[in-house]
Structure 1
């Protein structure tokens, strides 16, 4: 049977009770992804308050390049996705995450290209990135549903000539 689209466990997480994404209901568009391990998503307020204190204390004022900045937390899923070359997997936050857990995806949605699957850097491992705007750190437990993936087709523009550039790396590797 020819594989068209679906999910597999990346080799690093084989035998670690990682669950393949599933749709929660018959009419659900998205496949629910779970966290592959426990991970803490720190509150953004710690960094903001620390920087505010540094700015108020002239003696300890740091040059711009040395300040601590807000950073996203990458949450591993232990999953990779295969699909046709004219498709991508759109990663979206769970609708309950912002209201219940104060977790937001800073990129809005994630895009997993078909050629991300099996790349040499990370085998196509899918991560969700979050920031926590709650007042305290938030702990995502292994097995918590963290987001959803929706397979989508895409169209190419007239005159598109990109026929030979191959992906060489993992997360964020298609940037110039």
Structure 2
């Protein structure tokens, strides 16, 4: 019986995507790789460009970049996959996870919108754009259990993909 693990989503089946793996036997996190080349633009560059063009709108100046992994994760109903940044990303490349940590719920797997495609959401606080290459390690995922409150009454089923619970 399968408990938890990773699969390549259909759209990336023929693109030599590596499943996440732990670097050492005592590592908690599974290292995720970028599924394609992508550029994370410098936040400061985006801000300056918007102000020069005179099109700065509150909340719309800087947008995080979603970095695709080509991976989906399955797990038990009382577990989630926590996405965390690599410790070297902020220190060496000024890359931060825009949402702090990512939470991949068990019902995200195989959702009808995007098959449960896991993406890392980055902002670049450096002065220069950062190029991420396909196959480069970008973050890690840690499977964790969670608990429910005594008065929990959640009954709604997931109907979509990325950020779909915002629509509830």
- Is residue 18 from structure 1 mapped to residue 10 from structure 2 by the alignment? no
> Aligned in 2, Cα 1:142/1:49: closer, same or farther, shift over 3 Å?
same
Q: Distance in 2 between matches of 1:44 and 1:148?
A: 23
Question: 1:39-95 CA distances to partner (integer Å, 9 max, x unpaired)?
Answer: 0101111122234445xxxxxx55847x95100000000000000000000000000
Corresponding residue pairs, total: 167
Higher alpha-carbon deviation: 67-76 or 33-42: 67-76
Larger Rg: 1
SS of residue in 2 equivalent to 1:47? helix
Unmatched runs of 5 consecutive residues or more in structure 2: none
CA deviation profile, 1:87-136 (whole Å, cap 9, x unmatched): 00000000000011110011110000000000000000000010011111
2:113 & 2:49 partners in 1: Cα distance?
35
Unaligned residue ranges in structure 1 (runs of 5+): 55-60
> Does the 8 Å contact 1:23/1:29 carry over to 2?
yes
Hey, which bits of structure 1, 4+ residues long, moved more than 6 A? none
Residue aligning to 2:160: 169
Question: TM-score w.r.t. structure 1 length?
Answer: 0.90
SS in 2 for 1:148: strand
CA displacement at 1:161 relative to structure 2: 1.5
CA RMSD, aligned part only? 1.6
Which segment drifts farther, 153-162 or 118-127? 153-162
Residues 1:119 and 2:111 are matched in the alignment:
yes
Which range moves more in the overlay, 43-52 or 7-16? Answer: 43-52
TM-score of the two chains, using structure 2 as the length reference: 0.94
